[in-house]
Structures are given as structure tokens and as C-alpha cells.
Amino acid sequence: MIETFLKQRIRRRHAEQRRFFREIFDWTILLYLVVPVVLFIIYETIQILNGQADWVQTVPVAWILLGWMLYGFLPAFYAWFEPADRLFFKPVPGVIVRMKRYSVRYHFVRIFLLTAGLHLLCFPLHSIRFDQSGITVLLTSLALSLLQPFFSFWTYRLSGQRFLRKWSGHLVLATGRITLLLLLWLQPHPVLFVVALCILLFGSLHVRHWSRREDGLTEDILLSMKRQSSLSATVLELNGSLPKSSHRKRPLLHLRLFKQTHHQLPLLTYLRDPSKRRFLLQLFAAMNYGLLVLPWIGRGLVIAFVLFVLFQERKQHHTWFRRQSFYQHISN
């Protein structure tokens, strides 16, 4: 029974993700952006493996480390609980424990495969820029890929704490993760791998202790629904299901147009217009040509001109969107 519930929820989640990406990426974006980028990555990877890509030597190490620091905040862990589980799962012993174990197994495998795949994709870049042997790079990538699910799990657990404990825990966790990442890439030492192994053992014990507890179901339901509701709400808004109008608690407060989730429709309607996308592609192509041809003095003028054009486009589309009838539903 639990396996059936879990499969249904995973399939529903994947269907929402596919619907979200279909709304954002149509065939035009796929042909003009996604396919060329994928082909470019494959070509450059072959060039790097053959030792013919000189530009790799110019990539700053700080940019690579910054990218991995930011990636550490992305993979999300959550338990596959829903509000109705409080009624149906609570009276049955052992059901909550099994659902937690299935959630841990699914998310840990997913996050590990995603992180390991990215590390494998960046393996040639890491080998050249960090000036380390292939075995050391593989061990570092494996250690970070194994640690990432535990960091995501601890982030999930800290989200349900009180304000002071929550943010202090997030600060300590982020500091420790970034410090370990920097030390493993810049100064790899056997002691650091022993520390990573100790963290893995401690994390395994913590996850095992959490998955065996049947209390705290309400907190897990709230955290899980909070993690899953953001994408669901975005899909509904992209499909035209606007949120219901409600009375303003502060009627004189007018939020900026692109700050809230339900205020992102103007930007999405602009990007889904084929003529606007074609204009943006031509504008950025002209900007790249100007940056390559002109001297450094003229590059600032090119960037300023492009920013001015984008500002005028945003202002014009903002004015057009305010004239639409459904804008009142959004603003209220």
C-alpha cells in the first residue's frame, strides 16, 4: 500500500515538473537555445579531452568554486507526506516509518546521481584547473556527491526549527559545507577524507534515527507541503488559474511588479511572444558582436545601450500589461 502511495505521488510530481517545463520551454527555445548549448558542451568536452581547448586555462578557479557553493543550496529533500496522511497513517503502526525510509531512499539516490553526474561532466575542467591527478579529482567528486544528500537533509530538518535555532543552524551548516568544499578542492589531504567519512557516518545515524521516529508527523507534513507547493502554484498560474482575489490588509502598499510569484506573469507573457524572443536573440547577438569588435571603451557603451533598450521594453510591456482586464485580479 505504501509503495502504491509513493509511486502515485512521485508520478504526480514528475507530471507537474514536465508541465512546468513545457509551459516555459517551447520548440523555439528548444531549437535556438537548448540544442545549441548541448552541442556546444559536447564539442567543448571533446576539445578539452583532446587538449585543444586553450580557454580552459583562463577559467578562474574562484568561479568554479562559486558555482559549486551555489549548487549546494539547490537539491531539496522532503518527505512524501500529504495532509490526509495525518488521518490515515497515524492509527496504523509502522506506516510512517516506511514512508520516511522510502523518502530517504528516493531523494538520496536522486541527489547523489544528479551531483555525481555534474561532477563527471566537469571532470576535465577540474583536472586541468585544480592541477590534481585524476584519482584525487574522482575521490573529491565522490566525497562531495555522497555528502550532498546529507546536507540537503539537514537543511530540511532545520527549516522546521524556531527562528534563532533555524538561521543559526543554516549559517553553521553552510559555513561547514563551504569550508569542506574549499579544502577538498584546494588542499586535498587524507585527513579531510577521514573527516568526510565521519560526517557520512554521523549523517547515516541521524537519518536512521529520524526515519525510525513516528512522532513529528505534523511538522513533516508542513515542511513537505511547503517544498512541493511552490512548483504546483507556479504551474497553476502558468495555465491561467490565477489566485482568488482577497482584501488587502495594507491597501496603500503596492508591491513591485516582478517581486512576488503571482506577479511574474508579465515577464512570462513577454518571453512567450515569438516576436519578442526573436528580438531578444537579435539584440544579444548584436551585443556579442559589438563586444568582440569594439575596443574596451566602446564595450561600456554597448552594454549601456542594451540595458537601456531592455529597460524601455520592460516599461512598454509593463504599461501594456496594466491595461489588461486580468491585471486587477493579480494586483488585488
Query: 179 by DSSP, 3-state: which?
Result: helix
Domain range annotation of the chain: 2-238, 261-331
- Torsion, CA 60, CA 61, CA 65, CA 66, rounded to 10: -20
CB contact at 8 A, 287 and 293:
no
Q: What angle do CA 109, 155, 104 make, to 5 degrees?
A: 30
The runs of H, that is alpha helices, within 122-189 are 123-129, 134-158, 163-186
The pLDDT, as a whole number, for residue 142 is: 94
The pLDDT, as a whole number, for residue 160 is: 74
User: For 164-196, how does the pLDDT look when each residue is reduced to its tens digit (9 = 90+)?
Assistant: 778 888 899 989 999 999 999 988 888 999 999
Distances (CA, A) of 289 to 29, 46, 283, 302, 309: 21, 26, 10, 10, 17
Query: What is the pLDDT averaged over residues 102-123?
Result: 91
C-alpha cell, 7: 509511486
262 pLDDT band, cuts 50/70/90, is very low
Q: Cα 68 to chain center, whole Å? A: 12
The residue behind cell 546521481 is 113
The pLDDT, as a whole number, for residue 251 is: 45
248 pLDDT band, cuts 50/70/90, is very low
The pLDDT, as a whole number, for residue 138 is: 92
Average pLDDT over the chain reads 78
What whole-number distance in Å separates Cα of residue 6 and Cα of residue 106? 10
The runs of H, that is alpha helices, within the chain are 2-24, 27-29, 35-49, 61-71, 85-88, 95-121, 123-129, 134-158, 163-186, 190-212, 217-238, 265-271, 274-293, 296-322, 327-331
**Residue 246 clears pLDDT 90, i.e. is over it:** no
User: Roughly how many angstroms between the first and final C-alpha of the chain, as a whole number?
Assistant: 43
User: Residue 16 half-sphere exposure, CB side, CA atoms within 13 Å?
Assistant: 16
Query: What is the pLDDT averaged over residues 27-41?
Result: 74
CB contact at 8 A, 73 and 171:
no
CB contact at 8 A, 159 and 134:
no
The pLDDT, as a whole number, for residue 244 is: 45
The residue behind cell 517545463 is 21
Neighbours of 151 (CB within 10 A): 22
Query: What is the pLDDT averaged over residues 249-257?
Result: 45
